[in-house]
């Protein structure tokens, strides 16, 4: 269980996270969506103890982050937005370092590293220096480091940014498998498709606040399952295909009818807020 | 365990950059020894001794100081500001005190490694420095103190330029002014008082005193220990501040 209780985090006059409260059950795959500057990363960094909130509390299985941070951090795996690997070290050395940080005993380190690197397809090149890896491999290595200690909670901040579609799909597959094992995953992403594919709970953020939270399906149903699009900015939503057809039958403008996606929901709400 | 983890990481880093680290740390002391020592060494006397003899412990002090300072400050600054690898420690179950001690020890070892070359070089100058336990202990204190300064400096700067400015404004002047190349006692009173406040003055005095067999200056030892204690406390507090920053 993860619980945020009236969390505030500000930088000077700017409220990066503004009174955020929610609770999610163990095993949830949560997606935090929002435009740049919405407060997703700050919220995540506050949750994992990288930032201290100005007000409010974060709980993991009833343990309070500010009080039991060392115990909680043992159960958390983190993949940050930027590549924070030690570039001078090899893949294997980065993994040993992560294993030691999370107090994995010496006799188990090699077994665990082999298991995790095999899962992510990195074992064969474990002796390569990190600075010589491709962007996708670096991302995979960051995920491997984050799960070396078999954490209950995995936090991923834009984990697939800047990598090709195939690698992204491999990572998606891997994350689904981890979620099926019962791990709670919190993901921030700009790729709406990523959240739609992976998350069973989505929270939409803007200006430091969570203004919508539900499953992708419910969020879509709420505005209408079908979309009539006249231009990039002019869209109308209908509950059924028939309603959409009736609404457009006398139109002399070019339009398209399609199923509403989470991306449309995202634009629907953020545009509405901005306007 | 956690301190060992940091030492292990820094050890692997050191091995990967062994030649670069080793060669770059040799250049400056060799230049000083050639210029001030061998070039002028036989022509000058300080305190009734050849200048080269006087100079060697000063170089030893300066080299251990600079290398421990640079080893810690550059690693942490790059880890914090460039590759962000430093935050790995913050979201891991790592005590901030262990993090601080780990880096201070890593810096101390790098200082001692650099100091070892000065011992070796001193053999070739016919002014060999005797390695004693007390001397090594003084080098440890010197390295520890400047590792702590490097740690604090790299934790508070926001850009590379800030660290470079701190090094130019504080570390470089200190390395020249604190009796490494000359006797502080010869300075005008006002300068002497200022220089007596600087930590390198006391570590150099300790290192030189022990090297020459004059024994330990307990006042300087006390000053150095006070410096180390307060700098370590400040370093740990700054680590905690990193979370709230």
Question: What digits encode the pLDDT tens for the residues A189-204?
Answer: 878 888 888 999 999 9
pLDDT for A261 equals 86
pLDDT band at residue A252 under the 50/70/90 scheme: confident
pLDDT band at residue A272 under the 50/70/90 scheme: very low
Chain B residues close to A99, C-beta within 8 Å: none
Rounded Cα distance, B245 and B242, in Å: 5
Under 8 Å between Cβ of A121 and A141 = no
The mean pLDDT value for B97-118 works out to 95
CA nearest B196: which of B176, B217, B223, B214? B223
The beta-carbon neighbor of B92 closest among A51, A73, A82 is A73
**Residue B130 DSSP symbol:** P
Under 8 Å between Cβ of B159 and B81 = yes
The beta-carbon neighbor of A50 closest among B9, B83, B243 is B243
pLDDT band at residue A275 under the 50/70/90 scheme: very low
CA nearest A143: which of A124, A125, A170, A165? A170
pLDDT for B14 equals 95
The mean pLDDT value for A4-31 works out to 93
pLDDT over threshold 90, residue A23? yes
Q: How many residues does chain A have?
A: 275
Q: What's the pTM?
A: 0.88
**Residue B80 DSSP symbol:** I
Interface subset of A 105-134, CB within 8 angstroms of B: 129
pLDDT for B121 equals 83
CA nearest A47: which of A1, A83, A103? A1
pLDDT for A123 equals 93
A vs B, Cβ pairs < 8 A, gives 71
Under 8 Å between Cβ of A211 and A180 = no
Domain assignment of residue B112, given as a range = 2-244
Does the predicted interface ipTM exceed a cut of 0.95?
no
Using CA coordinates, name the residue in chain B closest to A95: B9
Rounded Cα distance, B211 and B198, in Å: 21
pLDDT band at residue A274 under the 50/70/90 scheme: very low
Q: In what order do the strands lie in the sheet with A29-33?
A: A76-79, A153-157, A184-188, A29-33, A201-206, A209-214
Rounded Cα distance, B84 and B82, in Å: 6
pLDDT for A95 equals 97
pLDDT for A96 equals 96
Average pLDDT, chain A: 90
Q: Please enumerate in sequence order all residues whose Cβ is within 8 A of that of A39, keeping only pairs 6 or more positions apart, or say none.
A: A9, A16, A17, A18, A20, A205, A207, A208, A209
The total number of structural domains that make up chain B: 1
The beta-carbon neighbor of A85 closest among B8, B85, B89 is B85
Average pLDDT, chain B: 90
Under 8 Å between Cβ of A179 and A185 = yes
Chain A residues close to B244, C-beta within 8 Å: 51-52
pLDDT over threshold 60, residue B37? yes
The mean pLDDT value for B215-226 works out to 95
CB atoms inside a 10 Å sphere around CB A154: 22
Q: Which of A49, A58, A80, A97 to mutate to probe the B interface, most B CBs <10 Å?
A: A97
C-alpha dist (Å) from residue B28 to B66, B67, B70: 10, 11, 14
The mean pLDDT value for A253-259 works out to 88
pLDDT band at residue B42 under the 50/70/90 scheme: low
pLDDT for B129 equals 80
Instruction: Report residue B156 as tokens.
Output: 């508070």
Q: Please enumerate in sequence order all residues whose Cβ is within 8 A of that of A27, keeping only pairs 6 or more positions apart, or say none.
A: A179, A182, A183, A184
């Amino acid at each position: 269980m993860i619980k945020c209780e009236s969390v505030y985090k500000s930088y000077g006059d700017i409220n990066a996270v503004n009174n955020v409260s929610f609770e999610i059950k163990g095993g949830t795959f949560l997606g935090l969506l929002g435009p740049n500057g919405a407060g997703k990363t700050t919220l995540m960094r506050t949750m994992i103890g990288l930032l201290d909130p100005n007000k409010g509390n974060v709980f993991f299985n009833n343990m309070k982050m500010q009080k039991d941070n060392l115990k909680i951090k043992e159960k958390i795996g983190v993949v940050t937005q930027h590549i924070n690997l030690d570039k001078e070290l090899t893949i294997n050395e980065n993994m040993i370092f992560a294993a030691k940080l999370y107090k994995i005993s010496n006799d188990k380190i090699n077994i665990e590293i082999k298991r995790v690197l095999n899962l992510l397809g990195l074992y064969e090149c474990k002796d390569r220096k990190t600075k010589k890896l491709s962007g996708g491999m670096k991302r995979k290595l960051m995920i491997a480091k984050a799960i070396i200690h078999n954490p209950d909670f995995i936090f991923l901040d834009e984990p697939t940014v800047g990598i090709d579609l195939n690698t992204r799909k491999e990572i998606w597959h891997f994350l689904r498998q981890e979620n099926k094992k019962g791990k709670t995953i919190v993901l921030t992403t700009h790729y709406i498709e990523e959240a739609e594919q992976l998350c069973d709970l989505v929270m939409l953020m803007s200006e430091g606040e969570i203004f919508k939270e539900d499953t992708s399906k419910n969020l879509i149903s709420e505005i209408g399952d079908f979309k009539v699009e006249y231009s990039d900015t002019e869209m109308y939503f209908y509950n059924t295909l028939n309603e959409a057809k009736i609404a457009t039958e006398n139109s002399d403008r070019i339009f398209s009818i399609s199923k509403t996606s989470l991306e449309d929901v995202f634009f629907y709400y953020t545009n509405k807020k901005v306007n | 365990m956690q301190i060992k983890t940091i030492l292990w990481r820094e050890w692997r880093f050191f091995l990967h950059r062994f030649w670069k680290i080793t060669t770059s740390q040799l250049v400056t002391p060799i230049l000083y020894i050639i210029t001030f020592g061998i070039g002028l060494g036989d022509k000058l006397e300080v305190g009734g001794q050849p200048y080269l003899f006087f100079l060697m412990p000063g170089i030893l002090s300066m080299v251990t100081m600079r290398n421990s300072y640079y080893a810690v400050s550059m690693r942490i600054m790059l880890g914090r500001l460039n590759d962000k690898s430093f935050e790995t420690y913050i979201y891991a179950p790592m005590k901030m005190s262990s993090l601080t001690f780990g880096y201070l020890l890593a810096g101390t070892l790098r200082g001692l490694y650099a100091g070892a070359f000065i011992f070796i070089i001193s053999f070739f100058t016919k002014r060999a420095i005797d390695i004693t336990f007390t001397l090594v202990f003084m080098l440890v204190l010197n390295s520890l103190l400047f590792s702590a300064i490097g740690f604090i400096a790299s934790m508070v700067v926001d850009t590379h330029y800030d660290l470079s400015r701190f090094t130019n404004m504080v570390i470089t002047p200190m390395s020249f002014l604190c009796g490494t190349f000359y006797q502080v006692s010869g300075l005008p009173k006002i300068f002497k008082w200022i220089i007596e406040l600087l930590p390198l003055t006391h570590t150099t005095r300790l290192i030189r005193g022990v090297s020459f067999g004059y024994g330990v200056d307990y006042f300087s030892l006390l000053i150095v220990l006070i410096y180390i204690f307060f700098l370590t406390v400040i370093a740990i507090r700054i680590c905690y501040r990193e979370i709230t920053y």
